[in-house]
Amino acid sequence: MILCHNYGRYLDRAITSCLEQKRGDFVLHEVIVIDDGSSDETESVCLRHKGNDKVKIIRRNQQGFGQTLTDAFLVSTGDWVAPLDADDWFHPSKLRTCAEAMTGEALFIEHWEHVVDSGGELMLHEPHPGGNTSTLLVQREAGLSLLPASNEIFFHALREAGRGVTIRDPLTFYRVHPRSMTDRRTPGISQDYRASVCIALSDRLRVMDGNPPAWADGRRLRRIAWHFRALASGHRVESAMQRGKRLTAMLHIPGMLTGTLRARDPITPWLRSLSSTIVGRPLVRLTTGQERQADS
């Protein structure tokens, strides 16, 4: 599932990277491009692939990333969904490698990534942990139980339920450029957004507690909900620190501790946030120029 809004200049590489996957123990069922109201060359790029039976194009008025991600699961018909932001592309061995992990109880697969610049050149010499849209594969039925999803973080709930697999191979090329969807330059913006997503997911999991999905019981859902509450508080601490509001950051520290304890999570992230507020230094360095901010 390729998600595209005004990324026409990158789209052809994204589509081609899906079609040129090395053979393995999987079937490439379909490559669906959702053009979410693009006004650039996206349409003409899509037309180049019109004759390929594997490629399906959905063009519509802009509805935003969350709705596009949600629709990716609703319109797909395969057993697993591999979302791909149109400005990224897959390594030729991605599906072959991930297919080996589609066994047992796994419902969620994430892998590492190469970070590249707008021209496709490596920005980091070492691979970087994934977790973003283009580094995930989600078993479709499990994914449907979490819809509507405002962000790929919603599917991280499957990992927290013990149904995830992590592959350290860098199987996606993650492109960082001035028109990236995530604002990594303005202090606190990325953290505030992530906090809002985590709160929304926590609320969703609490509602699901009354009618649990097949992949988790009510008790596990409540613990996962507290996990994402703790994450939200951590993001708010970081947001405040990036804005130079140390007192505000301290006010979120108790909430982060409560969520951590209720989720029975390791206390190390809370200690890092506490240390950050004590020394008065944010944990995450903002992106400047061609630098990339590592996800907190």
Residue 89, strand partner residues: 173
- Residue with the two structure tokens 């992530």: 194
Give pLDDT, residue 177. 82
Question: Which pLDDT score is estimated for 184?
Answer: 63
- Quick check: 61 and 37 in contact, CB under 8 A? yes
CA distances from 98 to 120, 130, 154 (A): 23, 14, 20
Q: What is the pTM of this model?
A: 0.92
What pLDDT, in 10s, does the model give residues 58-72?
999 999 999 999 999
Q: How far apart are the first and last CA of the chain?
A: 26
Long-range contacts at 17-23 (CB < 8 A, ≥ 24 apart):
17/84, 17/89, 17/90, 17/91, 17/92, 18/84, 18/90, 19/52, 19/54, 19/55, 20/92, 21/90, 21/92, 21/93, 21/94, 21/95, 21/96, 22/92, 22/93, 22/95, 22/96, 23/96
pLDDT in the model for residue 294: 37
User: DSSP string spanning 128-180?
Assistant: B---SGGGEEEEHHHHHTT-S-SSGGGGHHHIIIIIEEEEEEEEEEEE--TT-
Q: What six digits make up the tokens of 194?
A: 């992530």
What's the pLDDT score for residue 185? 73
Residue 103 is predicted with a pLDDT of: 86
Which amino acid is it at 66?
G
pLDDT value of residue 26: 96
Considering Cα of 116, then 18, then 180, then 190, what sign does the dihedral take? negative
- Take residue 215 and report the two structure tokens written for it: 């992949």
Binned average pLDDT, 10 residues per bin, the chain of 296 residues: 97 98 96 97 95 95 97 97 98 98 94 94 92 97 97 98 97 86 77 97 95 96 98 98 96 98 98 96 69 37
* Residue 50 identity: K
Look at residue 180 in the predicted model and tell me its pLDDT: 67
Q: Please name which of 19, 80, 91, 88 lies closest in space to residue 48, comparing C-alpha atoms.
A: 19
